[in-house]
Amino acid sequence: MTNHITQQFDAELEAVRTKILKMGGQVEEMIKFALVGFSSANTAQLKEVLEMEHRVNGFELETDDLINHIIAKRQPAASDLRFLVASMKMIRDLERIGDEAEKMARMAIRFYEAGPSSGPRMDFTVMSTHITSMLHRALDAYAREDENALDSIIHEDKIVDDQFRNCIRLLISYVLEDARTISRSIDMLFYAKAMERIGDHAKNMAEHVVFMVRGSDVRHAKTEASN
């Protein structure tokens, strides 16, 4: 009987992992559509991102409810509890990444629906490559319980931050040269900021994996080391 209960519990934990990875896959698709839709001026694809965001919210509610049910029913301890707590945090970050992808789509739609303009058109190739890589590797680390992905993701996050600062400087130069570009520049700034925030959330996810595996909060460790 005990073995049967253990098998059921293990199956419930795997169900949580599966749901979060499916949610992650949907969020990755949102980012892809927001990026490709922007680069190809495909507003239909951009509007699809807005619909996908509702599905991500559904994943969040469903998975959160499942985790709360498991905790109340099983009263897990040690590594199992860490897994569930980390999973709840992963859900929050994935939902917020979905929100940022939606913002990207909305800004891109505004950009194209405003009509032809001589305003700025930014190259987000470097940022997009890194944020998609960071998110994918954070999800893979969660799936495999791999704590070693964090350092490389932190490195990429710094690159994304640098790219965002470069974007700000370039947009400022556009506005100073021609005040008529202000509106378009603001849209591009919000688009870039959403990408920068996706990188931050991907880094958070990698930190949650470290907590899940080691039981230590590396965010506090970094704060203490800098004091």
What is the number of domains present in the chain? 1
Mean pLDDT of the chain: 91
Residue 226 lies in a domain: no
User: Tokens in use for 153?
Assistant: 């993701």
The helix-helix angle for 150-177 and 125-144 (nearest 10°) equals: 160
Classify the C-alpha dihedral 135-165-151-91 as positive or negative.
negative
> Residue 9 falls within a domain, yes or no?
yes
151 CB neighbour count, 10 Å cutoff: 10
In a domain, 137, yes or no: yes
Nearest partner of 74 among 145, 9, 152, judged by Cα = 9
pLDDT in tens, 186-220: 889 999 999 999 999 999 999 999 999 998 777 75
The answer to whether position 227 is within a domain reads no
Domain encompassing residue 166: 2-219
pLDDT computed for residue 215 by the predictor: 86
Confidence of residue 126 (pLDDT cuts 50, 70, 90): very high
> Does the residue 225 lie in any domain?
no
- Report H helices in 114-181: 125-144, 150-177
**Whole-structure pTM value:** 0.91
CATH of the domain at 134: 1.20.58.220
Q: What is the mean pLDDT of residues 109-119?
A: 75
Q: What is the pLDDT of residues 59-81, one digit of tens each?
A: 999 999 999 999 999 899 899 99
CA distance 168 to 34: 20
Look at residue 224 and tell me if it is in a domain.
no
Give the residue-averaged pLDDT of 130-150.
96
Quote the pLDDT of residue 226.
42
Q: Quote the CA–CA distance of 167 and 148 in Å, as a whole number.
A: 30
Contact call for residues 157 and 200 (beta carbons, < 8 A): yes
In a domain, 120, yes or no: yes
Confidence of residue 119 (pLDDT cuts 50, 70, 90): low
Query: Could you read off the pLDDT of 5-16 as tens digits, one per residue?
Result: 788 999 999 999
pLDDT (tens digit, 9 = 90+) per residue, 45-60?
Answer: 999 999 999 999 999 9
Dihedral sign, Cα of residue 93, residue 88, residue 136, residue 95: negative
